Amino acid sequence: MLNGKRVLITQASEFMGPTLAEIFAQLGAEVVLSEGPLVSQDAITDLPVDIDAVVANLAIPAPRSSVLESSADEWREVFAALVDPLPRLVQHLAPAMISRGHGKILVMGSASALRGMKNASTYSAARGAQISFVQAAGVELARKGVQLNIIAQNFVDNPTYFPPDVQANPKFKQRLDNEVPLGRLVAADEDAQFAAFLCSDAANHFVGQVFPVCGGWVQR
């Protein structure tokens, strides 16, 4: 599926990064890993531009402040980690993609932007800003040969948001049963396989689209 593709994965040791790297390599991609957060401009400009696709895998532990208690610093920190890197990534990587006539940019986002959650106003707002950016920038890039899309996920097995101790908690298991029609977490490799498809030539027709991957959680 990805034979001959050079794919950059950001924040590769966190969130979906390890599974994405494994699955993409299995599917034939040459995987380039960027390990650290992308909160500075220097971190962006150090990234290679000779790539066919980039997976913007961006994550931070979600703050649990109520909307009345969340601070301006919390807001700035969440947006600095999740939103500010996106235009910088596009401006750094898209010109080379455009000159070659093809490229894929895929954001690993969150379905928290699609359904209200208590004590998640800053995090959900940042994930929502990701979606709005992808939708707007995606239509600009479409006729330049670059497809920009986003996976809006929740209840996907990953160490950042659903570590083993959380998954072992009976209250969490009950929450899965109550809130997720699938009745379980989406497996990490299921999510990564779909991400790989969106980075392949079979997905050249998707433009600025939002793909919920959440076991039906947003439909409840």
* Residue 51 tokens, joined: 């790539």
Whether 34 maps to a domain, the answer reads yes
Instruction: Give pTM, 2 decimals.
Output: 0.96
The rounded distance, in Å, linking the Cα atoms of 60 and 62 is 6
pLDDT tens sequence across 193-209 = 999 999 999 999 999 99
Beta partners for residue 30, in sequence order: 6
- Reported as type and span, the H/E element at residue 104 is strand 103-110
pLDDT score, position 39? 94
Whether 1 maps to a domain, the answer reads no
* Residue 163 tokens, joined: 């570590």
Whether 24 maps to a domain, the answer reads yes
pLDDT score, position 123? 97
pLDDT score, position 219? 85
Short-list 129, 156, 158, 141, CA closest to 94: 141
pLDDT score, position 107? 98
Per-residue confidence in pLDDT tens, the chain, 220 aa = 999 999 999 999 999 999 999 999 999 999 999 999 999 999 999 999 999 999 999 999 999 999 999 999 999 999 999 999 999 999 999 999 999 999 999 999 999 999 999 999 999 999 999 999 999 999 999 999 999 999 999 999 999 999 999 999 999 999 999 999 999 999 999 999 999 999 999 999 999 999 999 999 998 7
The residue behind tokens 């106003």 is 121
Whether 118 maps to a domain, the answer reads yes
* CATH, residue 84: 3.40.50.720
Whether 182 maps to a domain, the answer reads yes
Whether 87 maps to a domain, the answer reads yes
8 A C-beta contact, residue 40 and residue 30: no
Whether 52 maps to a domain, the answer reads yes
Whole domain around residue 144: which residue ranges?
6-219
Query: What is the tally of structural domains in the chain?
Result: 1
- List Cβ neighbours of 15 (8 Å cut-off, separation of 6 or more): 57, 58, 59, 108, 158, 159, 160, 161
The rounded distance, in Å, linking the Cα atoms of 116 and 83 is 19
The values of phi and psi at residue 32, to 5°, are -110, 125
Instruction: Give the alpha-carbon dihedral of 193, 198, 203, 209, to 10 degrees.
Output: 130
- Report in angstroms the alpha-carbon separations of 206 from 74, 96, 142, 201: 34, 20, 9, 11
Whether 169 maps to a domain, the answer reads yes
